[in-house]
Structure 1
Amino acid sequence: MRSWWLGKKKGKESWVIPSVTDGRVTYRIGHGSKDLPPSAEEDGTVGRTGARCVGCSASVDLKYVRSEGRNGRIGFDLIAIVAQGNRTRHYLEPNEEHRTAAALAPPQDSPDGPLPAEALGFRVQAYGFKRYADLFTARQLVALTTYSDLVSEVRDKVALDARVAGRQKGLSLEQGGAGAEAYADAVSIYLGFAVSRLASTNSSLCRWNSAPSKESVSDTFARQAISMVWDFAEGNVWTKGPCELTSSAGWVARVLDHLSSERSPGNARQENATKSPAAGQLISTDPPYYDNIGYSDLSDYFYIWLRRSLRNVYPSLLSTLLVPKSEELVANPFRHGGKDGAHRFFESGFNEVFQRARQTTLEDYPISVFYAFKQAETTNQGEASTGWETFLEGMMNSGWAITATWPMRSERGGRMRDVDSNALASSIVLTLRPRPEGAARTTRRGFLGALKAELPDAMRELQQGAIAPVDLPQAAIGPGMAIFSRHSVVLNDDGQPMRVRAALSMINEVLDEVLSEQEGDFDADTRFALAWFRQHGFDTGDFGDADNLARARNASLEHLERAGILSLRGTRGKVTMLPPSQIDPEWDPGTDNSISTWEVVMHLSRTLTDSGIVAASALLSRVPESIDRDLCKELAFLLFALAEDAKRAKVAIEFNALGTAWNDIVAGAGAVAQQESFDYTGG
């Protein structure tokens, strides 16, 4: 068990209480004050390093658990039932009738695809899972195979109804038809999509989300991976919610609602990008992210259900048992003889793609490239990214120059990977044009000088846009590489051409300088707070050190305490910078005669965390106009960078949230001020 919690809604908390009787584990449901909820140490029985016995608390190494799984000795038990009441959930203890109902035999004709022995993002094989069918319970397999088979039956009925309505039979959709057969094919494809999508919320890898606002079944793919889930939730496919077919079909329907019937029909083809023959193309691409995601292996999870539903509709496209993989342009070490072979394969393929694009793209239009992944590694030469290095080398070597970059909010909020994490929220769009044949050379010193001259303005533009603080280092690659790529070559001091890895390290160094130089624009109190935060964060430090820092910045510790920024009380001779959660919630900027940028950012962070964007906007609307809003946003970005560098994850998350929501907060503050002005002038 990862967690014993079932529901955490205040006043209605519920959790599982295990006990051992005669060698058998039994379960009951704990509620309210009559039972003690699990403490952090007692919540669940498994972690990253091992498990513990629920009866005697003996430790169990995960190697042993994996071995038991591979030998077929891992099973599962029904421990609780969630029932839907009148706008609330009820948690019930299962009985033998419930367990018997769950113990179905799996269908004989379940999709029979093997899981890869090793693959990027796959973790379950170590526990004995061998086939995709192993990822589902018997009831889930019965439901999914039944729905899949019904798609074919529905297709035949739709075709019959279409002919009765006057449509000619015509060719199939795969053959380019537009009559009754093609219409029935189209409807069955949409239904096949819905069934395939349903597989993601009906597997034994779906967690139960006990959060107060959720209390629901989570998706299998919280991340682009198939990881081991110990306590899983089996949803009812006939109950309204994420596990039911109508919900899945609704997502497909919403896509169709956004498609215009007045436009010319599109044409999608599955081709190898390194061999695409067409010329005169307008190109826009979101390329694979080096070794971050094993797309083809993961797609088999859905493909097996699509093939079952639609192999008679698109027999040529769905002819293989699993999807093709050999030509997939991903640095997969399991497929290409290790890390070095995977790198060579990816590098060669990317060079070929961009060289072909250079030959076939339209002369008068740029190509656009999206990127949205965060991958870094530290070497003796600084911090860089193998994925970015290979990706950008391919573009540079193929004669492309970066001419513009834009951040674009593209990643959906609320994903598991961005909850309580610093996951990227934006994509960065690069535009590329062919680099002129006579492009000038430059030296390392010339490149560094151009970076220092141009990057500060580019960073301020990004900060004032929709970019989140966590995305800024990735966004800086765009304008930095624009400088690098407009030259035919950048020469190192030894006369050798500079590689992209070295250029990326220089861009990161200049970005750090730019962020540090922004400190000079802040008031004295904020400069002191930044200097202290850089050294101590929100931890306690010596009074002497704080006094020296304050005097050097013409600040006063007593004044800073009165402002609510820090505390001189408590441990003798110690100073503590107050985090947003501990500052005065009754602070009124309208009555504060000496407001610092630091105060505004701390109070906005607290308000955003506690009460959301609307409350933060209302607070900002009362801050005097003499406080520069742009400086406040720059401070949020800088604090995020400092917290992340110091590995203060929780603090970094809070300031990233503030920087990400800043434009919405400012817009809301303007609306509040406008409404107050209207109310006043209107009497």
Structure 2
Amino acid sequence: MDGRPFDSSPRKLIEVALPLEAVNAAGRAEKAVPKKGHPATMHLWWSRKPLGVTRAVLFASLVDDPSSRPDLYPTEAAQDAERRRLHGLIEGLAQWERSEDAALLAEAQRCIESSADGGLPRIIDPFCGGGAISTEAIRLGLDTVAIDLNPVAALVSAATLSVAQRFAGAPAVSAGDLRGGKSLAGIAADVAFYGAAVETECRRRLAGAFEPLPSPLSPEGRTVAISYLWARTVPCANEACRRITPLLSTWWLSKRPTNRWHARPVLEDDRFDFAVEPGAPPADLIDLKVGRGTNFRCLFCGDVNDADWVRSCGLGAGLGLRLVAVQALADPRRPREGRIWLAPDAASERAGLAGRRSGFPAPIEAALCRELPAESGNVTAFGIRRIGDLLSPRQRNTLATFSEVIAGITPAVHRDALAAGMADGGAGIEQAGHDARAYAEAITTYLALALSRLANRTTTMTTHNRANGSVEQSFIRPAYGFYGEFPEANPFSGSTGSWSGGLDYVVRALEALPAPAGNPTERLEGTGPHTDPSGHTPPRVGRSDVRCGSMLAVLDGDRGVVCTDPPYYDMFDYASLSNLFLVWLRATLGGIWPETLGPVIAPTASQIVSNAARSSGDRAAAHGHFESLLRRALERIADVHDSRYPLAIYYGYQQAGKRSPNGGAGRIGTAWEAMLESLIGAGLRIIATWPLRTERPEGVKKGTKSLATSLLLICRPDGAARPAATVDEFRRALRAELPDAVRLLQRSNIAPLDLVQAAIGPGMRIYTSYAYVREADGARLGVSAALDIVDEVLDESLAGVEAELDSDTRWALTWFEERGFADGPFGRAEEVSTVLNTSVDRLVGAGIVTTADGRVRLLSSHELEVAPDPVANGRLTVWGATQRLLRCFLDGGEPAAAALLSRLDSETADAARHLTYRLYRICNRGNRVAEAAACNGLVACWPELTRRASAPSSLA
């Protein structure tokens, strides 16, 4: 740190307000369906942030908030107007579809430059993973340093950020056709061309392994296999039986409504075979899988072979394999016209179980024999101890063959590059070369990434999707999994799990990468064009320096703005998972990337993760290891961070964590507090917290441990001396400052669901403004207790709005918090009404309560009439307006709610929106899920309601 107090720098947009709902919606849309042509689809990396969101976050971190420029925006109205304009830019930047919007990017770069006092900053991401943050930094015209300890992550980031960009604008050296007019079209065409050559050679070498199949349904009598469904086998645990039985979960093969198929067993003496028939399984064909876990009935005697027996078989003589069925093209001449299922024949089963007779080259043999780390999970309990054990015999041969062919193609590409006129030289791609040798190595690198994609769908950990017939990737859960059955993809089918499909993902992702204009020679000589063909200056594209190693070691002499997504405590163990890819990348590219891919197994000693398996099962020691390394990393980050700007850290977590005592949603215990304590201990002050709800919720529902939410923590290094404070002083400071911060958040239309998380930011800003907060007994007030106090004061702040409401609404709010829509004694209702200067008769006249038999009940939104003119009776309460808005929103969506909003005066409408925040808190605390969701939804769409309400059509 340079010792400058954080308050001396202008506040940036991200420290004040964000159009959070628009950013989150754009992120969810981007991640909803991964499509070809998105950089993230080049290679799997876990928990990638949506590129549009990272772009928006970077912009908001670098651009001054208008309140910091009173010279340009002297009034609050002028500041609000400029903030709305900048928020509009953020909303555009958050949309992935606008990644190539030159006008938008140029304006964003102009704003960043105008806020960059002292020159454009460099972005540093010390935990770069798949490179999302750095990808968008260079798209915004900023240079970056991207670092990761994991060699797979470092290679993927290099391929995303710097390898292809060295050859931007260069024509293809092969006979491949250019794929459009983008600056990376040449290298993309070459990857596609040489990838097709790899497939041709591998098909020749594996000619006997994937033969066409006889098919009575195909016009030609032969067809192409798409995938082979295999089942593991064990001898029955019943000593009186001991016959071999399959571990098959269901007899269903395809559940597609228009193309249903099932398998059935054919028993003969002590052996079994499988038959395949169209339609659903008959009712008397009982599934073999029993309950959860690895428990299967014996096909012969019906006894259950439990998980312990299956594990003992795996650790003993090993598990067998039987081919259940083959998915194939109905007509190979028309591959898109349907699929069929075929019963296995002896030849197909023999081909799948046949290994390579000649053995494997040393690098591949080393890859297959590599022991899985102890932290790989319970898969080792089934006898799967090596990488090779994760593969069937044909899968081992397939991946080995592709690896050999790809490694051997580099000289051919080199010759073609020289023949095309590319200069020769000595530097390779890892040494930032840019000539024929480096180009050939770059092509080989992208082909190896396609091999790594193939490896992800060529293991015994893949799963068969019975709804659509696809071969799902190995890491559908972030763990090494054991399954009783698995599909084996035919790499030459052109369909699911094939080489050509994975190659096309790599090529299309390559085309979508940000890259500079002009050809390589012009850029190297500094004579590149300053305008595009249309005469406009294209947005600048930054350069990236990708490094593999511990950020503690390789961040040396660097200074820049840190924006990063650090490790997630004990949720993921990337080093262990990535070994499946590392062994193949190292076998194929070890000579091209010797420094990056040097480790035989991904390094774990310096990895910041809490994994009890690395601490002899001691979870406390594992947590201590994580917190110690995280503190050191954050201290290093604070040292290198450019204090002119805030520091942005993504913190990922699942919703199913600890809740605060008074019902505040989403507060996570140990991991969250460890992160905050580490930030504070590293000398960082927390300024803001923004909930980013961009992860796909179905992943959590399936138990895949995907992250439901990320909190974006905005911090500033603090070099100033800070006083201590008592708990009472801390509470008074919160009461003085938090209400204004909450009002600003509400003015940016933050959803009630997110307000709790966002309020942590200003609360922690106050907490970290002190050296420490002292409790009554002199002990330090910890982060967890401080968060509880922030939560309490947030409630007070929201409740403070009640004083500005009409007396009938305050009565309704008090009654709702006590009883909801249940009835209560008339005496209690009258007691509350007297205190609040109203009466039960007045409440009945306002149309919000009903009375009967000495009981009083608040009317729900669905019991209130929505009159054509809501103020026709002359006295509309804020409560009544709010409930009617909720009813219109639930019954008729945005159009109906907007129509009602258009008939409310601005004061009532604004009060209704504030009341909805308060109602959300009450409903959420009382576990009124549906009502809380309605309140959240109404506020979330308020800008659209306002827009519709102001349109002439809404008044009709």
Given the two structures, how large is their TM-score scaled by the length of structure 2?
Answer: 0.56
Q: How far apart are residue 68 of structure 1 and its match?
A: 2.4
Q: Which of these residues, 416, 419, 430, is aligned with residue 713 of structure 2?
A: 430
- Residues 275-294 of structure 1 correspond to what in structure 2 (within 5 A)? 275=553, 276-294=555-573
Q: Indicate the larger mover: 318-327 or 133-142.
A: 133-142
- Residues 244-393 of structure 1 correspond to what in structure 2 (within 5 A)? 244-252=498-506, 253-262=508-517, 263-275=541-553, 276-337=555-616, 338-374=618-654, 376-377=657-658, 385-393=669-677
Q: How far apart are residue 264 of structure 1 and its match?
A: 4.7
Mapped contact 1:523–1:597 kept (Cα < 8 A): no
1:477-530 deviations in Å (ceiling 9; x for gaps): 433322211111111111122222332444455567778889998899898888
Mapped contact 2:659–2:668 kept (Cα < 8 A): yes
Quote the residue 1:45 is aligned against: 289
Counterparts of 2:556 and 2:713, CA distance in 1: 24
Change (3 A) 1:670 1:448: closer
- Residues 66-465 of structure 1 correspond to what in structure 2 (within 5 A)? 66-84=311-329, 89-97=338-346, 99-100=348-349, 103-107=352-356, 108-109=359-360, 110=364, 111-119=367-375, 122-170=377-425, 171-211=427-467, 214-252=468-506, 253-262=508-517, 263-275=541-553, 276-337=555-616, 338-374=618-654, 376-377=657-658, 385-408=669-692, 411-413=694-696, 416-417=699-700, 424-451=707-734, 454-455=737-738, 458=741
Mapped contact 1:618–1:668 kept (Cα < 8 A): no
Query: What is the one-letter code of the residue matched to 1:353?
Result: A
Q: How far apart are residue 311 of structure 1 and its match?
A: 0.9
Counterparts of 2:463 and 2:942, CA distance in 1: 37
Q: Which of these residues, 486, 489, 503, is aligned with residue 769 of structure 2?
A: 486
Mapped contact 1:29–1:91 kept (Cα < 8 A): no
- Residues 513-524 of structure 1 correspond to what in structure 2 (within 5 A)? none
Quote the residue 1:14 is aligned against: 260
Q: How far apart are residue 145 of structure 1 and its match?
A: 2.3
Query: What is the one-letter code of the residue matched to 2:472?
Result: S
Q: How far apart are residue 43 of structure 1 and its match?
A: 6.4
Mapped contact 1:412–1:425 kept (Cα < 8 A): yes
Counterparts of 1:662 and 1:208, CA distance in 2: 42
Mapped contact 2:298–2:305 kept (Cα < 8 A): no
Change (3 A) 1:84 1:430: same
Query: What is the one-letter code of the residue matched to 1:198?
Result: L
Counterparts of 1:549 and 1:20, CA distance in 2: 74
Q: Indicate the larger mover: 293-302 or 427-436.
A: 427-436
Change (3 A) 1:92 1:180: same
1:546-582 deviations in Å (ceiling 9; x for gaps): 99999989999xx9xx99xxxxxxxxxxx9x99x9xx
Counterparts of 2:816 and 2:782, CA distance in 1: 39
SS in 2 for 1:78: strand
1:340-383 deviations in Å (ceiling 9; x for gaps): 32233222222222323333333433322221223745899997
Q: Indicate the larger mover: 469-478 or 434-443.
A: 469-478
Q: CA RMSD in A?
A: 4.9
Q: How far apart are residue 152 of structure 1 and its match?
A: 2.0
Counterparts of 1:446 and 1:259, CA distance in 2: 50
Q: How far apart are residue 399 of structure 1 and its match?
A: 1.9
Q: Indicate the larger mover: 667-676 or 496-505.
A: 667-676
Unaligned runs of 5+ in 2: 1-247, 518-540, 834-838, 849-856, 871-875
Unaligned runs of 5+ in 1: 535-542, 564-574, 608-615
Query: What is the one-letter code of the residue matched to 1:308?
Result: A
Report how many aligned residue pairs link the two structures.
Answer: 631
SS in 1 for 2:394: helix
Q: How far apart are residue 533 of structure 1 and its match?
A: 7.6
Counterparts of 1:30 and 1:678, CA distance in 2: 55
Q: Quick check: 1:677 aligned with 2:915?
A: no
Change (3 A) 1:369 1:635: same
Query: What is the one-letter code of the residue matched to 1:100?
Result: E
Counterparts of 1:84 and 1:590, CA distance in 2: 61
SS in 1 for 2:547: coil
Counterparts of 2:718 and 2:504, CA distance in 1: 46
Query: What is the one-letter code of the residue matched to 2:464?
Result: W
Change (3 A) 1:232 1:422: closer
Counterparts of 1:547 and 1:555, CA distance in 2: 8
1:601-634 deviations in Å (ceiling 9; x for gaps): 6886799xxxxxxxx5556555554477846974
SS in 2 for 1:352: helix
Change (3 A) 1:155 1:467: farther
Query: What is the one-letter code of the residue matched to 2:454?
Result: L
Q: How far apart are residue 286 of structure 1 and its match?
A: 1.5
Q: How far apart are residue 83 of structure 1 and its match?
A: 3.9
Counterparts of 1:152 and 1:389, CA distance in 2: 47
Change (3 A) 1:453 1:386: same
Mapped contact 1:80–1:91 kept (Cα < 8 A): no
Q: How far apart are residue 103 of structure 1 and its match?
A: 2.3
Counterparts of 2:722 and 2:620, CA distance in 1: 33
SS in 1 for 2:546: coil
Counterparts of 1:102 and 1:532, CA distance in 2: 70
Query: What is the one-letter code of the residue matched to 1:397?
Result: G
Change (3 A) 1:380 1:462: closer
Query: What is the one-letter code of the residue matched to 2:601?
Result: L
Mapped contact 1:351–1:397 kept (Cα < 8 A): yes
SS in 1 for 2:673: helix
Mapped contact 1:402–1:485 kept (Cα < 8 A): yes
Q: Indicate the larger mover: 491-500 or 453-462.
A: 453-462
Larger radius of gyration: 2
Q: Indicate the larger mover: 396-405 or 466-475.
A: 466-475
Mapped contact 1:426–1:468 kept (Cα < 8 A): no
Aligned-residue sequence identity (percent) comes to 27
1:113-170 deviations in Å (ceiling 9; x for gaps): 54545316x3322222111222233333333222222222332221111111122221
Change (3 A) 1:125 1:469: farther
1:304-331 deviations in Å (ceiling 9; x for gaps): 1211221121123222321222111222
Counterparts of 2:914 and 2:411, CA distance in 1: 64
